[in-house]
Amino acid sequence: MDLVLRTIFVFGLILVVTRAVGRRELGEMEPFDVILLVVIGDLVQNAVTQSDHSLTGATIVVATLGSLTVFTAYLSFRFRRLRPVLEGRPVLLVADGEVLEDNLRRQRMTVEEVAAEARLQKIASFEQIRFAVLESNGAISFLER
Amino acid sequence: MGDLFSPLRTGDRVGRSGSWVRRATIAVFCVIAALALANVFGQRPVTSQAQGPAARLSLSAPDTLRGGLFFQSRLDVRALRAVEFPRIVLDEGWIEGMQVNSIEPAPESETSRDGRVVLSYGELAAGDRLRVWLQFQVNPTNAARRSYAVELDDEAEPLARVERTITVLP
C-alpha cells in the first residue's frame, strides 16, 4: 500500500517541480540539466522503492505511474480549467515584430535567445515575425508575416 | 496515402482495436494499483492471537512481503498464571531466507528444537507481559510461502500457538 502512496506523492512532486521550474528550462536542457535530471531520478527511485528489490514492487510502481499519467492526461483533456495547471499556457513572445519584454522576463528569457531560435528557423529579423509563441512543451513556434 | 513514407490504412475502424487494447492495459494498471492499496501485495501488519489457560500470545506481522523489504514482527505474551520457563518457538518461515537485524529484548539463550528456533526468556509472574520486537529484512531471492507459526511454551509444555503463514512475492 505504501508503495502506491509514495508513487502518488512523488508523481505530484515531479508535476509541481516541472511546473515551477518552467518550460523553457525543460525544453532546452544543458548538460548540467541532464545530469541534474539523472540525479533527481535516482533520488526519486530511492524514495519510492526504498529497499524493495522485487518484481512485484516494480510492477506496482510502473502500473501506478501509468495510471496516474493517463489520469492526468484525461483530466487535462476533460476539464479545460485544469489545462493551464497541468500543461501550462502558450505564451506570446513576439507580436507583429514587437518583442513583448514583460512576457520574456516572466519566462526568464532574453531577446537574444528568441533571436537565436528565430535564426534556427531561418528568420533573419523580428520584423519578419508575425507571432512567436513559447509553447507548453518549451519549444518556440514562429509565424512569419 | 502514398506520400507519408509508408502506406497507412484509412477508414473509420482504423485504430479501434489498438485503442481498446490500450484501455484494457490501463485498466489492468489501475487494478494492480488498487490491489496494492488493498494490501494484497503486502506489507501491512496483521494481528493474530491465541490463548491457553496459562498465557495469551499475540503476533503482529505482515503476512505478505516482497523481496528486499525491511519489516517488523511483534510478539506479545501475557501470562495468566506464572510461567517459569517461557520459550518462544519460531517455525522455519521466521528465519529461512530472512536477515535477522535485531531481536529486542534479546533472549537469554537460543537453541534449536526439531528444526525450529527456540528463544528463552526469564520467568513471568501472573499478569506479566513480555513484548518482543523482531526486525528482519527479506532476502530478495526468498520467494516462497512458509509457516510463520509461533508457539509459547513453558519449557517443553505448549501454552499457546499462533498459526500463520508468510508469503514472499518475487
**Which residue among A54, A62, A67 places its CB closest to the CB of B66?**
A54
CA B40 – CA B64 distance, rounded (Å): 8
Closest Cα to residue B147, out of B48, B53, B27? B48
Q: Which CATH class is domain B45-169?
A: mainly beta
Mean pLDDT of A12-23: 81
The verdict on B29 touching A (C-beta cutoff 8 Å) is yes
pLDDT above 90 as % of chain B: 74
The verdict on B144 touching A (C-beta cutoff 8 Å) is no
Q: Pick the residue of A2, A60, A68, A72 with the most B CBs within 10 A to test the interface with B by mutation.
A: A60
- CA-based nearest distance A52→chain B, Å: 5
- Chain A with chain B: Cβ pairs closer than 8 A: 65
C-alpha cell at B96: 529461512
**Which residue among B26, B41, B137 places its CB closest to the CB of A60?**
B41
C-alpha cell at A104: 520574456
List the A91-95 sheet strands across, edge first. A98-99, A91-95, A129-134, A140-144
Tens of pLDDT, residues B30-80: 999 999 999 899 888 999 999 999 999 999 999 999 999 999 999 999 999
Closest Cα to residue B80, out of B47, B57, B97, B48? B57
The verdict on B85 touching A (C-beta cutoff 8 Å) is no
Q: Pick the residue of A4, A9, A54, A70 with the most B CBs within 10 A to test the interface with B by mutation.
A: A54
Confidence of residue B116 (pLDDT cuts 50, 70, 90): very high
Are the C-beta atoms of B87 and B112 separated by less than 8 Å? Answer: no
Mean pLDDT of A57-85: 90
Dihedral (Cα; B49, B123, B137, B64), 10-degree rounding: -10
Question: Going from the N-terminus, what domains does chain A have, and what CATH number goes with each?
Answer: 2-86 (no CATH), 91-144 (3.30.240.20)
C-alpha cell at A125: 529579423
All residues of chain A having their beta carbon less than 8 Å from the beta carbon of residue B44 are 1
Comparing alpha-carbon positions, the chain B residue that sits nearest to A57 is B66
Q: What is the C-alpha end-to-end distance of chain A, expressed in Å?
A: 56
Over 80: is that where the pLDDT of B16 sits?
no
Look at the pTM and tell me if it is higher than 0.90. Answer: no
Whether residue A53 and residue B67 make contact (CB cut-off 8 A), yes or no, is yes
Q: Could you give the ipTM of this predicted complex? A: 0.72
Tens of pLDDT, residues A100-113: 999 998 888 889 98
The strand pair at B157-162 and B150-154 is best described as antiparallel
- Domains of chain B, by residue range, sit at 45-169
pLDDT above 70 as % of chain A: 95
Confidence of residue B14 (pLDDT cuts 50, 70, 90): low
CA B122 – CA B119 distance, rounded (Å): 10
